[in-house]
Amino acid sequence: MLRKISLGLVLALAAACGSAKVISRTQAGGVIELQGDRGKAMEQANGEMSRHCGPGNYQIVQEGEEAIGTDTFVREDTSTDSATSRSGRRSATDSTTTGQQSTRTATAWRVHYQCAGAAGGPPPGPAGGPPPAPAPAPGY
């Protein structure tokens, strides 16, 4: 009984874990794949982005499920049937093989981020605020 409870706890803890895997990184930003529990994985991803760009110095520009390839599943079943004559002198064996193949698009949850100040971001605003308004013309 104790063994079943221990196994259940281990499986529950494994299901509650999440991780973030860096897929690509450039000077301007990168892509991180989230696996398992998305909340836990996002905590780790935020740490990765902070280490790369500086704390709070990044922006998530895209997040969602992305196609990353295909998975192919192949299944083959073979059945054999044997028959022997009543006299036991002759026997026959028949074999039948049935195959099935399916392919699906493999997906993963990915976060694309950009470091603040990286190329491609919004242009910086003018230094010191907007330019002063022109002075009114005298005498009118």
Looking at the domain assignment, is residue 96 inside a domain? yes
**35 touches 42 (CB < 8 A):** no
pLDDT, position 134: 58
Looking at the domain assignment, is residue 6 inside a domain? no
Structurally, how many domains does the chain consist of?
Answer: 1
Give the mean pLDDT of the chain. Answer: 80
Cα 18–Cα 46–Cα 107 angle in degrees, nearest 5: 50
Looking at the domain assignment, is residue 111 inside a domain? yes
Looking at the domain assignment, is residue 127 inside a domain? no
Structural domain span for residue 84: 15-115
As given in the structure block, the two tokens for residue 102 are 């399916």
pLDDT in tens, 8-53: 444 444 446 999 999 999 999 999 999 999 999 999 999 999 999 9
Listed in sequence order, the residues at least 6 apart from 54 whose beta carbon sits closer than 8 Å to its beta carbon are: 115, 116
pLDDT, position 136: 61
pLDDT in tens, 106-122: 999 999 999 997 654 44
Indicate the pTM of the whole model: 0.56
Looking at the domain assignment, is residue 38 inside a domain? yes
Looking at the domain assignment, is residue 88 inside a domain? yes
The rounded distance, in Å, linking the Cα atoms of 72 and 102 is 6
Looking at the domain assignment, is residue 129 inside a domain? no
Looking at the domain assignment, is residue 132 inside a domain? no
pLDDT, position 65: 95
pLDDT, position 14: 46
Per DSSP, the three-state class of 130 is coil
- Is the predicted pLDDT of residue 1 greater than 80, yes or no? no
